[in-house]
Structures are given as C-alpha cells and as structure tokens.
Amino acid sequence: MARSYSQELSDIRRATANAYGRQRDVVGSTARILADVARLADRYGRNEVAPRIRDEYDHRVAPLIADGLRAGRRAWAKTPVAPKKSGLGGFIAAGFGVALIAGAAYLAWQVLRTDDEAWIDDDFDVD
C-alpha cells in the first residue's frame, strides 16, 4: 500500500477510536442521567402520588363501594323469591333449545363435510 494511503488510513483509525471513546462517554453519562431520573420518579411516586391515591381511595372510592354493597344487600333481602314451577312453557322452551342445538350441529356438519362429487375432474375431453 502506498505511504499516503497508509498515513490516511491511520488518521481515519485514530479519528474512529476518538469518536468511539467520545460516544462511550456519552452513553455512560446518559445511563447515569437515566438512573437519576428513575430514582427521582420512584421517590416522587412514593412520597407524592401514592399518598394522594390512598387518600382519594379511602375518602371517596371505598365509601361509595360500601354504600353500594349495603344498598344491594338491602334490595336482595327485600326481594321475594318465588318458588319455581315447571309447566308447559318450560317444556316448550327446552324443546326449542334442543331443536336449535340440533340445527346448529347439522349446519356445522354440512359446512365441514367433504363432498367428493362437488369437485370437477381435471380430465375432461375437449373436442
């Protein structure tokens, strides 16, 4: 290799090593900055956000849930439960249910079955 090329190549290598070193320093300082930000966010969440959420839950959400549960229990206790009777309507509804299931099964069978006669043979005579 000519002397001028090798000199230029060594200059490029030095510049590359220099740029790589600066880039490594930038990445290292970025990692330190991100670690500091994560630490700050964690501390802020623990000291500021979590107590506010806990306070709002204790003073607003929990009482609403408790009132709703109490109202639901009262409504449930007041609701009379009628004894179940089986009559003609129940048998008719059961019959419709069985017919519906049978129809769906038949339809699925028709869709998924293989029909060898539905295909056209590749061997056909053209006159």
Q: What is the largest CA-CA distance in the chain?
A: 107
CA 26 to CA 22: how far, in whole Å?
Answer: 6
Secondary structure class of 83 (helix, strand, coil): coil
pLDDT digits (tens, 9 = 90+) for 12-31: 999 999 999 999 999 999 99
pLDDT of residue 127: 53
Tokens in use for 10? 């060594």
The single residue listed with the structure tokens 């929990």 is: 62
- Give the length of the chain: 127
What is the structure's pLDDT at 90? 82
Q: How far apart (Å, rounded) are the C-alpha atoms in residues 102 and 108?
A: 10
Which has the higher per-residue pLDDT, 116 or 74?
A: 74
pLDDT digits (tens, 9 = 90+) for 42-69: 999 999 999 999 999 999 889 999 999 9
* pLDDT at residue 122, rounded to an integer: 60
pTM of the predicted model as reported, rounded to 2 decimal places: 0.43
Tell me the pLDDT tens digit for each residue of 93-117.
Answer: 899 999 999 999 998 888 777 666 6
CA angle 68/70/73 to nearest 5° reads: 110
Position with higher pLDDT, 49 vs 86: 49
Alpha-carbon gap, residue 63 to 68, rounded angstroms:
8
For residues 60-84, give the mean pLDDT: 86
Give the integer Cα–Cα distance in Å for 40 and 49.
Answer: 13
Annotate 38-61 with b (16+ C-beta within 10 A) or e (fewer): eeeeeeeeeeeeeeeeeeeeeeee
What's the mean pLDDT in 72-88? 80
